[in-house]
Structure 1
Amino acid sequence: MYDDPLAADAADTSRAPREVATALWRGWRRCCPACGHGPLLKGYLTVRDHCPVCGQDFTCQRADDGPAYLTILIVGHVMAPVLLWYFTAFRPAPATLFSLFAMGSVALSLYLLPRLKGSMVSFQWARRMHGF
C-alpha cells in the first residue's frame, strides 16, 4: 500500500506507543529492544540485521557517530574532575598520573561504547525513527 515506510508509519495511528525507558534499558544491556531476549549486537559494535528471537528488522538503523560522541562526552565529564581531585589530593608523579588515567579512560570508553550504541538504536526503535 505504501512505498515509503516512514509515510506508512505516520499514516498508521493505530499502533501502540513503544515504551522508551524499557527500550533504552534493553539497549543498554545490548538486547533486542522489541523482545528483550535476542542479542542486538553481533561482535563488539556491529548491529545485527534482525533479531534471531523475534525477527525485528534492524537494517534501517542509523547510529553513525552518535555513540562515540556520547562516550567522549561522558568519559570527559567523569574523568576530568577525578583527575583534578586525584592530582590535588596525592600529587603523584606525572608518569603515574598519565598511566592511571589513560588506562581508566580507555577502559571506561570500551565499556560505554557498545552500551550507548545499543541504547541509541533502541531509542530509534522506540520512537519509530528511520523506518522502524
Structure 2
Amino acid sequence: MAKPNPLLAGAAGRCPNCGEGHLFEGFLRVSPRCEACGFDLAAADSGDGPAVFVILIAGFVVAFGALFTMVAFRAPVWLTLLIWLPMTLVICLALLRPMKGLMLAAQFINKAGQARHD
C-alpha cells in the first residue's frame, strides 16, 4: 500500500502518517493518537503558525474584496461592512482547520520536534 501525501492528508484533517485516522477531535484539538495506525499525534504542536497564515490570506481577500466593492459598485461603507465583516469570519473559520492540518503535516514531513533540554 502506498503512503498518502502527508500535506493532502493534513489539509483534509487526516493522520499524516497513514491518511486514514482523524487528525482532530473537535474543531481544533489534535487527537492524542491516530485510531487507524496508532501514530502518536500528542507531541505535534503547530503554535501560532496557522493563525498567522489565515490572517494573511483572509486579510488579503477581504481587503481586496471590500475595496473592489466600494470602487466598482460605489457601495456605501455600511453596505461594504455588512457584506465583508461576516465574510471575514467565514473565511477565517473555513481556513483555520486545514491550515493547522497543513502545519502539523509539515512537522511530520520534516520530522520536527519540540526543543528539549534533558
**Fold agreement, TM-score > 0.5:** yes
2:10 is aligned to: 27
1:71 and 2:40 correspond = no
Count of aligned residue pairs for this structure pair: 112
TM-score of the aligned structures, taking structure 1 as reference length: 0.80
Q: How far does residue 87 in structure 1 lie from its aligned partner after superposition?
A: 0.8
Does residue 37 (structure 1) correspond to residue 20 (structure 2)? The answer is yes
After superposition, residues 90-129 of structure 1 pair within 5 angstroms as: 90-129=73-112
Residue deviations 1:37-93 (CA, integer Å, cap 9, x gap): 111011000000010011110111111111111100110112211211111011112
Cα distance in 2, alignment partners of residues 39 and 110 from structure 1: 19
Q: Which runs of 4+ in 1 moved over 2 A?
A: none
Higher RCO, 1 or 2 (CA under 8 Å, sep at least 6)? Answer: 1
Take 2:79 and 2:61, find their aligned partners in 1: how far apart are those partners? 19
Aligned amino acid, residue 41 of structure 1: F
Q: Distance in 2 between matches of 1:25 and 1:83?
A: 31
Alignment of 1:6-21 (within 5 A): none
C-alpha RMSD of the superposition: 1.5
Distance 2:57 2:77 in 1: 24
Unaligned runs of 5+ in 2: none
Give 2:14's aligned amino acid: C
Identify the residue that residue 88 of structure 1 maps to in structure 2.
Answer: 71
Partner of 1:7: none
CA distance in 1, matches of 2:64, 2:86: 16
Tell whether the 8 Å contact from 2:65 to 2:84 is kept in structure 1 after alignment.
no
